[in-house]
Amino acid sequence: MIARKQRKPLISKSKTAAAKAAPGLRERKRQQTRERLTRAAMALFLERGFEATTLDDIAAAADISRRSFFHYFDSKEDVVFAWHEEITAALVAEIAVRPAGESMLAAAENAIAAMVRQIEPGEAIAMARLKRDNPALQARDQVKYEQLERALAEALARRAVHKAEKLDARLVAMIATGAMRIGGELWATEGAREKPEALVKRTFAAMRAILD
């Protein structure tokens, strides 16, 4: 995340975007401005610190007005957590394409493993450290994981055949989200030495051993 001009998005859009219809020109421009704004903000946060970076700083770096900033985000915190939306969308998309014969737990595990392959490691570590060092962002992080859990539960529930499986979907979503959070914290703490996909497999194997 040091070479800002060549910065890659946290989540690669090559797979998920291809499955969607191409947006119109106006929407593409809006997406481009939002991405430019996010890149500029994250560069400043990592360089100066979250608290020391002002909205005016971010707007100037992104070459937009302060007023225009609020067309895309409500606050600095929203910029930091924009990537959570990408993660959620990518995970829901991966759940949707899992084979119907997979159990919900296997579908969640394999979808998460596929999703983390799209993550840019250096940026993910920088994001984790930024949140770790700011109490306000830590509190917001909890809310985002709750939203991720609900989205995952809904995606899994769409695979359900019987009504009773709706409960299974919620339970698997809770377990899988917890595994993602703990695994992510461990991965960042250890300096990202392990491939994210391998960590997902190891985390789910440990979870299954406990449940058995």
Q: Domain boundaries in the chain? A: 23-75, 81-211
Q: Who's near 110: CB < 8 A, 6+ residues apart?
A: 94, 98, 102
* Residue-wise pLDDT tens digits, 66-97: 999 999 999 988 988 887 788 888 999 999 99
- The one-character DSSP state at 8 is P
3-class SS letters over 111-174:
HHHHHHCCECHHHHHHHHHHHHCCHHHHHHHHHHHHHHHHHHHHHHHCCCCCCCHHHHHHHHHH
Geometric angle at alpha carbon 39, from 126 and 115, rounded to 5°: 60
Question: Do 23-75 and 81-211 agree at the fold level?
Answer: no
* Residue-wise pLDDT tens digits, 124-154: 787 788 888 888 788 788 888 899 999 999 9
Domain 81-211 - what CATH class?
mainly alpha
| Residue whose pair of structure tokens reads 């449940």 in the numeric block | 211
> What does pTM read for this prediction?
0.74
- The one-character DSSP state at 11 is B
Q: What is the CATH number of domain 23-75?
A: 1.10.10.60
| Residue whose pair of structure tokens reads 């225009």 in the numeric block | 68
Q: Quick one: residue 186, left, alpha or beta (phi over 0 = left, psi -120 to 50 = alpha)?
A: alpha
